[in-house]
């Protein structure tokens, strides 16, 4: 399927130039597309130069940034959890992050990988809060995590926290702690969605894509 996509990108007036939203799913595209065939990716990416919305991993976004000069996105959903983000890739995608107005991330409690947002123009942030490989205990300061996230985005106008866990009791525990922190802050930018949305046990804990 992806080979047809590549062939379409080679057309003289490829309709892919009209594409505004791109969703990259590793479950549908062979890994060799990213790792072993940079020539193919390099030929495909320029046809997507006009996209303004991206959904996929930080690695896939990094490849786009490397292949498309002046990529300007308005919104992005980075599906790999922040605990798996790596500094070299973050440094690569920072130019794209800087152009965003809306960003959706999967934040793993205990991670602090928001380097890429320190100079961004992100105004609207959605944070899916995940437990990852950590455990909630009495010493884990979720309020501090929420404060860190809010302070990491200098132009923030609204942040929506959405706890996402396998166990409903864990989700409610995290929601309650974020709500308590938000009420103390009295920050109108902070919103919480405490609707329980379970994550299936067979999901990869390091990717929501």
- CATH number, residue 128: 3.80.10
In degrees, rounded to 5, the angle at the alpha carbon of residue 57 between the alpha carbons of residues 195 and 162 is: 15
Residue 200 covered by a domain = no
DSSP state of 22: E
In whole angstroms, what is the distance from residue 27 CA to residue 117 CA? 27
Domain carrying residue 188: 53-192
Residue 91 covered by a domain = yes
Two structure tokens written together for 48: 């997507």
Residue 143 covered by a domain = yes
Two structure tokens written together for 30: 């062979």
Q: What is the pLDDT of residue 193?
A: 93
- To which residue do tokens 């922190």 refer? 181
Q: What is the pLDDT of residue 205?
A: 44
Asked if 198 contacts 165 with a C-beta cutoff of 8 angstroms, the reply is yes
Task: Give the count of domains, the chain.
Answer: 1
In whole angstroms, what is the distance from residue 103 CA to residue 121 CA? 10
Residue 159 covered by a domain = yes
**pTM for this prediction:** 0.83
- Neighbour tally for 111: CB within 10 Å: 17
Residue 198 covered by a domain = no
Residue 80 covered by a domain = yes
Residue 43 covered by a domain = no
Query: pLDDT (tens digit, 0 to 9) for every residue of the chain, 209 residues total?
Result: 566 766 777 777 788 888 899 888 765 555 455 554 566 667 777 888 899 999 999 988 998 898 888 899 999 999 998 888 888 888 899 899 989 999 999 988 877 666 556 667 899 999 998 876 545 454 557 888 888 888 888 899 999 999 988 888 888 888 998 999 999 988 899 999 989 987 765 544 444 44
In whole angstroms, what is the distance from residue 197 CA to residue 36 CA? 36
Residue 8 covered by a domain = no
């Amino acid at each position: 399927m992806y080979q047809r996509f590549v062939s379409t990108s080679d057309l003289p007036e490829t309709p892919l130039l009209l594409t505004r939203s791109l969703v990259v799913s590793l479950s549908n595209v062979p890994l060799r597309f990213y790792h072993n065939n940079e020539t193919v990716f390099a030929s495909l990416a320029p046809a997507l130069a006009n996209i303004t919305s991206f959904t996929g991993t930080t690695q896939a976004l990094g490849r786009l940034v490397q292949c498309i000069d002046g990529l300007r996105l308005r919104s992005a959903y980075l599906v790999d959890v922040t605990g798996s983000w790596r500094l070299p890739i973050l440094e690569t995608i920072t130019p794209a992050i800087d152009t965003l107005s809306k960003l959706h991330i999967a934040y793993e409690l205990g991670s602090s990988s928001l380097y890429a947002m320190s100079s961004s123009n992100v105004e609207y942030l959605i944070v899916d809060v995940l437990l990852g490989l950590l455990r909630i205990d009495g010493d884990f300061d979720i309020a501090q995590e929420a404060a860190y996230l809010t302070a990491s985005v200098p132009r923030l106008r609204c942040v929506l926290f959405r706890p996402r866990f396998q166990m409903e009791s864990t989700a409610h525990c995290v929601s309650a702690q974020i709500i308590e922190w938000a009420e103390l802050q009295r920050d109108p930018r902070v919103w919480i969605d405490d609707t329980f949305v379970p994550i299936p046990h067979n999901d990869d804990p390091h990717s929501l894509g």
